[in-house]
Amino acid sequence: MTTWQTTWAINKYWLMARSQHLYNQGRALAKNNAWNADKQQAFSQLLATANTLTPTKQTLTTAYQHVWGYFKKRCTPAERATYLQLLATLTPDNDQLGPFLKQLAHTYQVDYLLNSRLIQEL
């Protein structure tokens, strides 16, 4: 992976957890593998803007559903039940789902997620 691809991979779920709009802008910047200094500056500004935002129930739900995709086909029935229960009670002030997904990332050794900012900051 190139440096910009690594930067995108590390930050994309964190960005999604704060703003779908900013995530979409970041995704557009990363599209077509055509990264340059202007795109890097724009991406840095997106991250700075996202850093001022507090995740909402909807943005967390969207990001966590994407993360869940890494586990849904290999999790145990108990893990699936826990995921669904924590998703149903998720709020920004009562986020037990994020730490659960972090635990699953460690359990299943999903390096892509373990390296992501979203998981690292939980």
The string of pLDDT tens digits covering residues 54-113 is 999 999 999 999 999 999 999 999 999 999 999 999 999 999 999 999 999 999 999 999
pLDDT attached to residue 23: 98
Q: Cα dihedral sign for 72, 78, 82, 88?
A: positive
Helices (H) and strands (E) in the chain, counts: 8, 0
Predicted pLDDT at 1: 61
CA geometry: angle at 63 spanning 59 and 69, to 5°? 150
**pTM, to two decimals:** 0.94
For residue 61, give the 3-state DSSP assignment.
helix
State the chain's mean pLDDT as an integer.
95
pLDDT of residue 33: 77
